[in-house]
Amino acid sequence: MEQTGQALPATIQRIWRASAALWALVLMIIGLGLIAAWFFWHWPFWLGLGLIGIAIIQLLFRLALVPYRYRFWRYNITPTAVFLQKGFFFQKNEAIPISRIQNVTLEAGPLLQWQTLQQVNIETASTAHVIDGVTRPVADQLRNQILQLAQEARDED
């Protein structure tokens, strides 16, 4: 598969790892709560152990996929469309026509703010597409570029 477009900044990998760890922590806490329920109310013990096992497996799986996810995530903006490219084995190539774009918003939750990144949300009438995380100056530039191209496309119609 041909790699075209811009890659995400390398710091996005920290966000993906931290997100995987937080999800595992939440699942483990719930699993411990189920073990406590076994102790106090005689719920099935396997529920708690099973959830803790699932938490560990999903953590290992998601951590193993971070380099793969980073390697094959690309975006490209042209005068006619925004292209998003993900994956190698399970390829997903999206083309969002500039003329269909209605809104571009920037978001930054606590993990993205920790790494001074922002998520770019591109919205059309029927769908929303996301560029996972780029630096703040790049996010501002992308928003302005996409909105300007969208305005020019509407003016041509």
Q: What is the DSSP string of 95-154?
A: EEEGGGEEEEEEE--HHHHHTTEEEEEEEESS-EEEEEEEEHHHHHHHHHHHHHHHHHHH
The pTM (predicted TM-score) of the whole model is: 0.90
Q: In 10 A of CB 12, how many CB atoms?
A: 22
117 lies in some domain: yes
* pLDDT, mean of each 10-residue run, the chain (157 residues): 83 97 98 96 96 98 96 95 91 94 96 96 95 96 96 85
* 63 and 81 together in one domain: no
What's the token pair of residue 71?
A: 């390697």
Our separate counts of H helices and E strands in the chain read 4, 7
* 14 and 84 together in one domain: no
pLDDT of 156 reads 83
106 lies in some domain: yes
Looking up residue 108, the CATH number of its domain turns out to be: 2.30.29.30
pLDDT of 157 reads 67
* 125 and 78 together in one domain: yes
Residue 15 belongs to domain spanning? 9-68
1 lies in some domain: no
* 128 and 63 together in one domain: no
The Cα 69–Cα 104 span in angstroms is 23
